[in-house]
Amino acid sequence: MSNQAVLPFLLGAALGGAAATWLKRGPALRRRRQRKPLDPPGAQLREWIEEVPQGWLLISPNNRIAGLNPRAELLLGLDDSGLALRGEPLALLKPDEDVQHLVELTREKGISQRGIWPLPSGNLDLRVMPGDQGWVAVVLQGRNPLESQLEQQEQWVSDVAHELKTPLTALRLVSDSLALKAEGRQAVLVERLQRELQRLQVLVSDLLDLSRLDNTPFSDDQPQASVDPLDVITSVWTVLEPLAQERGVQLQVETTGSGRDAALRRAAIDPARFHQALLNLLDNALRYSPDGTAIEVDVAVRNRWCLVAVRDHGPGLSEVDLERMFQRFYRGDPSRFRSPRSGSGLGLAIVQQIALSQGGMVRASNHSDGGALLELLVPRSGPR
């Protein structure tokens, strides 16, 4: 591939598509460009590519190495000069099947892909970008030590949760057996033990759920069921209604706009995960709802989204809440709780991970008339 063919491709990739965006700004800008060329000289562009902190690898349409910079040589642990590798097959670098798949997927779909290039010395972050006529650029970067540490921490928490699950189940069985024989002061102590064991079991279950969700990225190719949110809300409320009745809290469900059309409001989502997300949202609203008030749920359609908005009539969200409420183990100000029950601090983090794993999102705000408003948006499956 000649320098004249490679350099424009490098420029488009290195500058993050800026040139492509600039070219869309109309004939006036293109005429201005003709009057005053802005492209850097080829030698300057090559020098920039050589000096960037990321590794660059160019792959030809027939999967041969067209070029790589010194940083790529260092990251890949190559002893020989990259010049000797130019023209050689990509297989010479021993990429695993996932890396080769990402390269072919990038060519086929014309969309950048992200992944990991595993090496004995550690994994490299990988971004594969499409070019014209089957050319592909690969950007390699050493993993951030902080990110690696966080991943190790999350893996450790997941491993601990798995190890705790079995002994906690055994302890629950023992406590249930003790409760049958305990009397007086001992019965009070056993009841407290049962409550704490139940709380630990909920915490372990939530940690395992988060671990599974972290390892379930969203994919457009994964088949999803078509679910009516109203059916799921009804099912969720049957679980929470006994707790709500004790405090006189009611549920009010409305459908607005095109959400009234059952064919339009159906969500494309895993039914079990949808149930779990809505259970956590309604349970959170119940905790903050004053006695004798209502939890308001609105189901609507927003373009390609199905929206479920949950509002309580509690004290609303502080600035710290709005910033941190979806973080793991974060709990709001206990003085604002309207329920004696306390959660694991993972419920809303699970909602966020479910939304992301299903191609949606969750957001929080304060309602204009008071109380907190949490909105879950997921892709809808009805006619668009």
pLDDT of residue 335: 61
| pLDDT higher than 70, residue 346 | yes
The model's confidence at residue 200, banded by pLDDT at 50, 70 and 90, is confident
Instruction: List domains and CATH numbers for the chain.
Output: 3-143 (3.30.450.20), 146-214 (1.10.287.130), 225-379 (3.30.565.10)
Query: What's the CA gap between 220 and 234, in Å, rounded?
Result: 28
| pLDDT higher than 50, residue 29 | no
- 283-340 pLDDT tens trace: 999 998 999 999 999 999 988 899 999 999 998 998 888 888 888 778 776 666 666 6
Return the minimum-mean-pLDDT range out of 124-128, 193-197, 375-379: 193-197
pLDDT of residue 373: 95
pLDDT of residue 172: 84
- What average pLDDT does the segment 38-64 reach? 75
- 112-149 pLDDT tens trace: 888 888 888 778 888 899 988 899 999 988 766 555 55
Percent of the chain past pLDDT 90, that is, above it, reads: 25
